Structures are given as structure tokens and as C-alpha cells.
Structure 1
Amino acid sequence: MLTTHRKQQILSLLKENGQVVAKHVSQLMGVSEDTIRRDLREMAQEGLLQRVHGGALPASPATADFARRESITSEGKLAIGRAAAKMIQPGQVVILDGGTTARQLARHIPHDLRATIVTHSPTVALELIEHPLAEVILIGGRLFKHSIVAVGAAAIESIEQIHADTFFMGVTGVHPKAGLTTGDYEEAAVKRALSRAAAETIVLASSEKLNAASPYVVVSLAGISGIITERATPAVLTMPYEKMNIQITRA
């Protein structure tokens, strides 16, 4: 079997099963495990999948920089942001992650809502300037320009002083086995600290992020209580999380 055909079949197996195991694929295709591992390495370098021990998972497509992601904000992200904003109750302390979906959340917070909003995203904070009753706490640190968020030791130290009601988290991958993942090591550490600082964590995940993975783990699925996704997301994508008793909200 030609390399191109093997890779196409690997992608088909990933789409069908949500993961591939190198040993099983080698047996299926009648080639050595070393050959399949080489294929997986090359495909990972091309951004086609995320390698894990023994095989691979689907790669998250949410890797573009902030400006590009902002320019293609979908109706689904608008709906997710709107649904999440409705969950914020008067008097609560909530944490908003960075990213384009969290920015939509901020834009849909009612102007008369009295609450405290904590964020490490300058772009999210700016959306709340015209909210007179909202207290905004902006976490500082080193600016991670890809996502326009603060990261690093200073950010984590500030986060550790906060006890919030809810953290609305954005990630690039949500997978039944890999958990919640993102593409930068330091950003993952900050998201993890934000999750620890809140009584509950709710994930904002458009459908292309479900059953996908990125290199760095944020938290396991046991660390969250809910996922908000688009109304049109296929049931097959959300079923694994519903089986884990994670509340799925369709926006």
C-alpha cells in the first residue's frame, strides 16, 4: 500500500473511531508498526493528527492566531457566548477565559448586571468598559500574543488569590480520553489555575473542538461540570460526555 493511501486510511479511521492505535493499524494494513509510527510522525508535523502514546487522536483545527479566528467568528460562537452569558447571576464572581468565544460571551453580558468579572484577557476586559455595574479584575502577566492573554508565574500567583463561582473555559480540544487540551504549555497552566480557582468550570466548545486534541493537557473531564456547544452539533459528538454525566447545553 502506498504511503498516501495509508495516510488517507489512517485519517478515515480517526474520523470513524476518534483514535487510532499503531499496533492495530499495522495489523490492519499489513505493514510494520515502525512504518505506521513514521506515518503518524509525518502526519503530526503536517497538523493532521495529534500523536499520543501508542497511536494518535484527531488534531484540533483551532490553531489560527486570534486575529484570524476573530475574522471568521461563526454564528455558533455567537450562540455559545449568548447562552453562557445567560448563566451568570447577579452578585456572582465569574472568570472569563481568553479567545473569540469568550469575547462573544462578554459582549452578551447585560449592561445592568451587577457582578464581578475576572479575566486574564485584555480584549475581554475591554468589552466590559460600558458595563457600569460590573467590576472587572484584569489578571496581569506576560502577554501571550497568539491568544492575547496573560500567562506566567505572576498570572498564576494572582489567580491563586481568587475564589470564583464559575470559570467559562475555552480550549482547542475536548476529547473523551485526552480531556481538555490547548496548544501552548504556559497557557494550559494558567487555564488549570483558573479552573482550580472556581467552584465549577464550564467549557465553551464549538463542534470542531469536540473529539479533538492538542499537545498540552489543561484538566481531565472530571474537572468540569458542563459543555456549551452549538445546537446543530451531532449527537454522536456529545454522547461520550453525556455518558460521563457532563451537562451538555446546546446554544
Structure 2
Amino acid sequence: MTGASLAAACRSVLQCADPREKVKAARAAARAWRRGGLSHEFDVVMPDEPGRPARPDLLPPSRMPRRGRAGSTRSRIALLHALAHIEFVAIDLAFDMAGRFGGQFPRGFADDWIGVGADEAMHFALLDRRLRTLGSGYGALPAHAGLWEAASATAHDARARLAVVPMVLEARGLDVTPETVARMRAAGDDASARILERIYTDEIRHVGAGTKWFEFSCRDARIEPESEWRTLVRRHFRGSVKPPFNDSARGRAGLTREYYTPLAIGELT
């Protein structure tokens, strides 16, 4: 990959369909970037859609099967598979962020999002390995079809992408993961709990990167960040922002209550 541009490396990750090859490409791109083997150039465009394997079958939320009895092995496999799919798509979201918008920001933006992409690849690999230990594997179950929608809806606007993907979608992971860890431990699955705790710690940093660069963009445009965030979320996010919130973890990521509390109150009234 020596001599290639950062954008070309990001595009190569996005175009990989096979999960193991995508993980390898993500790790190779991150390693090449850290070692100075990629130029900070954006000479190719990112694809509209990333490569996807033949399995899992992608279904709308209304057609997703129920996960079964809480604490059962089947239920835990279903939950871990859903999380693996989120992490698989997150690889593409991170490399698309770097490759699509990196030219609009200082070099540190690429440093952060290539690092996030490498983390997501590691998270996916850990979850897939755990699924295999439990007698399953990524692709064995259906998965949510709509996770790339946020990228498509914000492909034209870096600030909107930052507002929705790290500051809404990943922040939601901070809200729900501690309870999921507790459920795994209650079921005696300490191995899965440790993986989720590792992911949780990394995701605080990812949300922090999103908040940092969102605020950078707002300062550059002389826009008040909290109100701009709420405007962009209302415009580009199809879901809702509802409690309960993990205010402590969000705060550690710089995502203060001034951002989301007014929006959540509006959703509930």
C-alpha cells in the first residue's frame, strides 16, 4: 500500500465484501497510515454502498426474529450477532468518514477516524470469534438492513455525519452497553462481558472524536454547536433520541447534557 493515498486505502476497505478480508484491509490501512505509507490526499471518491457478504440476510427491523429467552445461549448468540453486525458496518462508517470528509479537516481528523476504524475491525473480530466459540458465527443469523442509512443520509455533509453517527448512534451504545454487560455476567458469560466492556471503553473515545470534530466544524463556521446538533439530528436522523442516558459516559466523551436533553424533552412531550 506504500505510495497510495489515504482516500484510496479507505475506498479499498469499503469495497471489501468478505468480513475477514475487510478486517485485514482495515488493519493494513491503519498500519500504513501510522507508518507514513499513505499520502494525505483525497483523489478518489468513496462508493455509495460498501461491499457486503452474501450472508447475513439483511432484513428490515419489523422482520427481525425475536431473540428468545433472556440469558439463554440462543439469546446471547442472537445479541452478540446483532452487535457483530453493528461493528462490521462501523468499520465502513469510520473509513468512509476519513475518506469522504478528511480533506475538509486537519490531518488529526484522519488520525482519529482511521484509529476508530481499526478499533471497529478489532471489535468485530472479537465478537465473531466469540460467536464461533459458542457454535455460531457472523452470517449465521439475519441482521438489521438499515445501519448504512445514516451514512447515505449524510453523505453530503460532514457536520451532519458527525452529529448522527458518533454523537447519536454510537452514543446510544454507551447508554445500553452497561446493562448488556450485566446480563451477560448474570448468565455466567464472563467472556462475552469482557469483550463488551472493551468495546464500551473504546466507544467513549469514538464518541469523543465525533464531538471534538463536530465542535471544531461549528467553531470554524461560527455556529453554536448544541443548537446546530439538534437541528441536524432532527433533519437527518429517522429515529428518536430518548432516555435513559448514560450521562457519565457521554460527559466523558464531551457530549454534555446541553446537547441532547432539550431534544429528548421534545421527543417525550
TM-score, length-scaled by structure 1: 0.26
For the pair shown, the structure with the greater C-alpha radius of gyration is 1
Structure ranking higher in strand proportion = 1
Structure ranking higher in helix proportion = 2
TM-score, length-scaled by structure 2: 0.25
